[in-house]
Chain A
Amino acid sequence: MNIPNDDKITSGFHRLREEERQAAPPYRSPLETVSEPRLQPGNWWRARFALAASVILIAVIIVLKPVPTDHSGDSVAQPPDDFSELESMLAHEMPTDFLLDTPWYQLADTTPDFNYIFPSYEYPEDQTHEL
């Protein structure tokens, strides 16, 4: 049976104590580590008042802000005088246009003929000259 030796246990613990004591951080008062001072009661009410005032001010600005009138519909787009630029754009061929030439692509550009016969309609005579 093992009988524990108190002296040996004590010396082992003391050696451990010395090692752990060396690792102890220096004493610092926890109150010194608080960097920001806490708000006093008076300051606290002032801070709340300032917060509430700023919220109300923002709300008032949003409500009273003038809504810009949309005048974009007033102007009518004028057709260009010179179509040469448009024609050149239409005439331009992209180098990748050939990729659009898929098999049977012509089907997409043509309307199939189902031999539909439009009904005949007699147009009334022009009576504008009588008005």
Chain B
Amino acid sequence: MAATQIDTLASADREHRTMSRGEIEQLLEKHHQDGFTWALACCRRNRDFAQDILQMSYLKILDGSARFDARSSFRTWLFGVIRRTALQRTRKYSVRERVLKALFIGRIEPNHQCPYTMLEYSRNSEELVQALLKLSTQQGTVLQLVFYHDMTIEEAALVMEISIGSARTHYARGKKNLASILKGSKHEYTQ
């Protein structure tokens, strides 16, 4: 009876055990590059914003504001945290940035983007990035997750917090639109 009780306690401990900070940091370090590239995709390829969002997400995870409950893989969950943090940041600063741009930058050069905040890409990658930015947010996101991060559509739906059916629709339409946008490019994406 004593042995049964110990087994029960051990399994309970396994299920409800919270990860230590060291373990979490190890996992964060392991997925750091993926996290950064995903943050880039969430910030329209703005490197500075991506770094900010990544740090904010790490803080959320390490101070316990965001808790991993093992319902998905750690990477999928991390992507969800990063995406949500990016959305919160966008909502928080969008009005202020629009006003400042309209007042100071918009009159000089519309849609001005600081070159120092953008990465340098090869020609093909630049075309792909510009094409992705032309797609709707949902279509670009699902294509990024599936083709770039090698996720399944089900995992992409988990990250995006939408149904699998919606994810499939966005995937199909996004792929078609991407191919038509890149039709004239040197690197053909159609067969």
Residues of A within 8 A of B (CB): 2-6, 8-10, 12-17, 19-21, 23-25, 27, 29-31, 33
A19 to B120, CA, bound (A): 8
Decide: A30 near B55, CB < 8 A? Known: A8-B187, A12-B187, A24-B32. yes
Q: Point out which of A8, A15, A30 has the most chain B C-beta atoms below 10 A from its C-beta.
A: A30
A23 to B50, CA, bound (A): 12
Residues of chain B lying within 8 A (CB to CB) of residue A13? 128, 143-144, 147-148
Decide: A27 near B28, CB < 8 A? Known: A15-B122, A19-B121, A19-B125. yes
Question: Closest CB-CB distance, B171 to chain A, in whole Å?
Answer: 11
B122 touches A30 (CB 8 A): no
B58 touches A29 (CB 8 A): yes
Q: Which residue of B lies closest to A21 (CB)?
A: B33
Question: Closest CB-CB distance, A97 to chain B, in whole Å?
Answer: 56
Q: Which of B119, B124, B176, B183 interacts with A12 by CB under 8 Å?
A: B124
A6 to B153, CA, bound (A): 14
Question: Closest CB-CB distance, A22 to chain B, in whole Å?
Answer: 9
Tell me if B37 is interfacial: C-beta within 8 Å of chain A. yes
B62 touches A30 (CB 8 A): yes
B189 touches A27 (CB 8 A): no
B190 touches A2 (CB 8 A): yes
Tell me if B129 is interfacial: C-beta within 8 Å of chain A. yes
Q: Which 8 pairs, one residue from A and one from B, show the smallest C-beta to C-beta distance? A: A4-B179, A13-B147, A2-B190, A24-B36, A27-B32, A5-B191, A16-B125, A13-B148
B62 touches A23 (CB 8 A): no
B33 touches A24 (CB 8 A): yes
Question: Closest CB-CB distance, A27 to chain B, in whole Å?
Answer: 4
B55 touches A9 (CB 8 A): no
A19 to B149, CA, bound (A): 14
B180 touches A2 (CB 8 A): yes
A17 to B178, CA, bound (A): 17
Tell me if B188 is interfacial: C-beta within 8 Å of chain A. yes
Question: B48-79 toward A: CB 8 Å interface, digit per residue (1/0)?
Answer: 00010001001100100000000000000000
A23 to B189, CA, bound (A): 25
Decide: A20 near B40, CB < 8 A? Known: A5-B189, A10-B147, A30-B58. yes
Tell me if B168 is interfacial: C-beta within 8 Å of chain A. no
Decide: A19 near B119, CB < 8 A? Known: A25-B36, A29-B58, A30-B58. yes
Tell me if B47 is interfacial: C-beta within 8 Å of chain A. yes
Question: Closest CB-CB distance, B79 to chain A, in whole Å?
Answer: 14
Q: Which of A2, A24, A31 interacts with B37 by CB under 8 Å?
A: A24
A9 touches B147 (CB 8 A): yes
Name 9 interchain pairs, CB-CB below 8 A, sorted by A.
A2-B176, A5-B188, A12-B189, A19-B122, A20-B40, A24-B37, A25-B36, A29-B25, A30-B58
A8 to B186, CA, bound (A): 12
Tell me if B29 is interfacial: C-beta within 8 Å of chain A. yes
